[in-house]
Amino acid sequence: MPEKCVVVTGAHGFIGRNLRAALERRDDCRVIGIGSQDSLESVERALKQADLVFHLAGVNRPKNVGEFAAGNAGFTQSIVDILARNDRSPAVILSSSTQAVLDNPYGQSKKAAEDILSAFGARTGARVCVVRLTNVFGKWSRPNYNSVVSTFCHNIAHDLPITISNPVNVVELVYIDDVVRAFLDVIGDGASGLVEVQPTYASTLGELADKIYALRDIRRSLVIPDLADDFTRKLHSTYLSYLDPDDFAYDLDMKTDNRGTLAELIKSANFGQMFVSRTHGGILRGNHYHDSKIEKFCVLQGEAAIRFRHIFADEVIEYRVSGQTWQVVDIPPGYTHHIENLSDQEMIVLFWANEMFDPNRPDTYFVEV
């Protein structure tokens, strides 16, 4: 496939950095990034080579309202003028806003930019695509600038207060990877005209803050939210991107006794919980059964015997397992069971249970195997 020269304006901004990363992974694109510090001469050199332009540059938080027109419509006109005098008509994909239909200075400037490009397309035959975006969230967005999600994530991750003007106010959000995917689709499908990115997510500010606080508290509670919910999963990824590099790791609550050490890793009402143990040589853990709870054992290090006995039978079933060959052993209900470290070295075992431990209903009954 022939290589395309793709020019990205606003290349160092939030959306631009994410799009550049995706484009640079492709083998059919040569990417030229244009930032706010580049001169018009640099912009012209880039546009003279362009087969495709992603026009992401714009102004949305100016010091004075007049900058909207200059930064959005004005710069778009400059791009069109450069292309015209160099007799170039590449495809142009504009990052616009859902506010382009509103009667405010920002919306008016974005609509003007759309109209400038539409006229360019009509005059030259160039393919023009307008992608109207609502509030975009995801990694690399600048906090305290133009994204309430990034502000909440940054402040909560750094134990700073947040301000909620009205907790019942609803914001409509779209995730950066969905935006980038829509941009990449435009390259391949030849779309033109107006495009809106889906899916979008509606949340009140109060609900949004509560979700992010819950994500912060995973380190204490170990409780993972329902990641089958698409918005929660994407918000979780976004929140973690705001941690400082020296804050990626956290300690677990390790319970130690004469047998060794055990610690919970993660738990959820939806998938149960995982925990890990270190067991001293020759030690046996277990000798209990469950009515409903099921478990999975996986020995990561060491040699072990996992033994079962149906509570109404005498036959003992034994599985020999080793950290040399990882194998998962299912623990059915109604079978008392234990695991014994067969060596004099430490044994490490990863466990999963299909429900979180409830001290009020432990479903654990001690019976010798």
> What is the C-alpha to C-alpha distance for residues 19 and 95, in angstroms, rounded to an integer?
12
Neighbours of 279 (CB within 10 A): 22
> What is the C-alpha to C-alpha distance for residues 125 and 91, in angstroms, rounded to an integer?
9
365-366 vs 284-289, strand pairing mode: antiparallel
- Mind telling me the catalytic residues? 106
| 90 φ, ψ (degrees, to nearest 5) | -70, 160
Three-state SS for 278? strand
Neighbours of 327 (CB within 10 A): 14
Tokens 């995973």, residue located: 218
> What is the C-alpha to C-alpha distance for residues 95 and 190, in angstroms, rounded to an integer?
16
Q: Classify residue 141 by its DSSP letter.
A: P
Tokens 């994530």, residue located: 153
